Structure 1
Amino acid sequence: MTENDNAAAAGFEEATGLEKALSAVIAERVREFRLMNGWTVGKLATESGLSKGMLSKIENMQASPSLATLARLSEALSVPVTAFFRGLSEEQDVVYVKAGSGLEVHHKGSGPGHRYQLLGTMRAPHDTLEPILVTLTERTEVFPLYQHAGTELIFMISGKMEYCYGSARYVLEPGDAIQFVGEVMHGPGELISLPVQFLAVKSVTPSS
């Protein structure tokens, strides 16, 4: 591998998650522009100073090129760097979270045995939902109550609890759901049967 290849390879990493969509779009554009020029992979390697192996990885979505590598391809193919991303905005965002891999968040006033996992956030302007998996394994004398703009949906997964909403109390069991306006004080009350687990989906104001 040449010195140039070593420098460019530093910007490579295996495509995973959302990078896969980016790799797919770049692979399609590189192949498209190469064929428009009537070039083989070998010819593009010669013109760009990149190895055939590296270009093969790009076109087969096995690695994501760095901006430095895209700049070389841009110069060799006589297209702007932004041309390699054409079509990416047409892809629909997907946030996929495996069980147990949600981002741990901490709620003010919550004690031990209270676990909150954020199940991903969409990119703006689609970041209008905040899904949190709540797992409660210990009882506490007083649960903090919350207020927020928008609305919220609670879906009970396991256990049994009393849920407070204003002056009302609702007993939730697996399969039960409750929706409400977030401005009214709300939160878990008595935990009747542990462990309690529920999905809370809150509507939020999207990022500007």
Structure 2
Amino acid sequence: MTRPAAQSEHRDTGDPAPVQREVSPNAPTGVDLERVIGAQVRSLRLAGGLSVAELAARVGISKAMLSKIENAQTSCSLSTLANLARGLDVPVTSLFRGADSAREAVYTRSGHGAVIVGRGTRIGHHYELLGALRGQHKRLEPVLVTLTEASEAFPLFQHAGTELLYMLEGVMVYGHGDSDYTLRPGDALLLDGEGPHGPNELVRLPIRFLAVTAYPDRHGEG
């Protein structure tokens, strides 16, 4: 009887959950790059309504050579790849689509997001980061905000980018600039982060809402 592999535990260090990487068993590797290119050439040729003879004439190769390329029976030189892309009227990168199928994803179990400290932490606001990707995807920050205590003073926030609030529980009056919005479960508020914003009145506690901030490209670089 085969025992299931033990799952490693993630110790809460206050950092976002570790990025999990998994490659599909069918994902192409270096040894079958020719297969990826061949499949893309055939797919693009058919999408363009071209026969093997027509594309071969455009590229300047024989029909037999094109057939070998589409069936992953030969490797293409860089010049042939460039000519194929030109003949198909696509970027060269289109011929490699599917060769790098691994993508990052972060899975966060309910109640296991990293607790972060925000400006409202000192007055009873609870911020739970629901995951964070690296590189260009670091621009998006999803946070679950929970308010459980009434307060007479509320912090105002200002930041670059766009923010989406989605109300899950409770009722609150949320201010943005000179406007106030009463948010109930199911309500959403999309706002420009440069405008001063924050809760003005906690009408019914507890309050939970999802705050997703999309920062400009320069945010988080370095």
Q: Does 1:102 align with 2:103?
A: no
Provide the residue aligned with 2:166 in structure 1: 155
1:38-187 superposed matches below 5 A: 89-187=100-198
Q: TM-score, normalised by structure 1?
A: 0.59
* Structure-1 separation of matches of 2:20 and 2:151: 42
- Report % sequence identity: 42
* Structure-2 separation of matches of 1:107 and 1:199: 15
Is the 2:170–2:207 contact (alpha carbons within 8 Å) kept by the matching residues of 1?
A: yes
User: Letter of the aligned partner of 1:99 in structure 2?
Assistant: S
Q: How big is the alpha-carbon RMSD for the aligned residues of Structure 1 and Structure 2? A: 3.0
* Structure-2 separation of matches of 1:132 and 1:19: 19
User: Letter of the aligned partner of 1:111 in structure 2?
Assistant: R
User: Letter of the aligned partner of 1:21 in structure 2?
Assistant: E
Deviates further, 198-207 or 130-139: 198-207
* Structure-1 separation of matches of 2:19 and 2:115: 20
User: Letter of the aligned partner of 1:200 in structure 2?
Assistant: A
Q: Deviations over 1:88-128 (max 9, x none)?
A: 95312211111001111111254243100011111212112
Cα distance change on mapping 1:19 and 1:165 into 2, 3 Å: closer
Provide the residue aligned with 1:21 in structure 2: 22
Deviates further, 105-114 or 182-191: 105-114
Cα distance change on mapping 1:109 and 1:135 into 2, 3 Å: closer
Is the 2:21–2:102 contact (alpha carbons within 8 Å) kept by the matching residues of 1?
A: no
SS in 1 for 2:138: coil
Aligned residues: 140
SS in 1 for 2:22: helix
Q: Does 1:196 align with 2:197?
A: no
Q: Once the 2 structures are TM-superposed, how far is the Cα of residue 14 of structure 1 from its aligned partner?
A: 5.5
Cα distance change on mapping 1:98 and 1:141 into 2, 3 Å: same
List structure 1 segments (4+ residues) > 2 angstroms apart after TM superposition.
13-20, 87-90, 108-113, 205-208
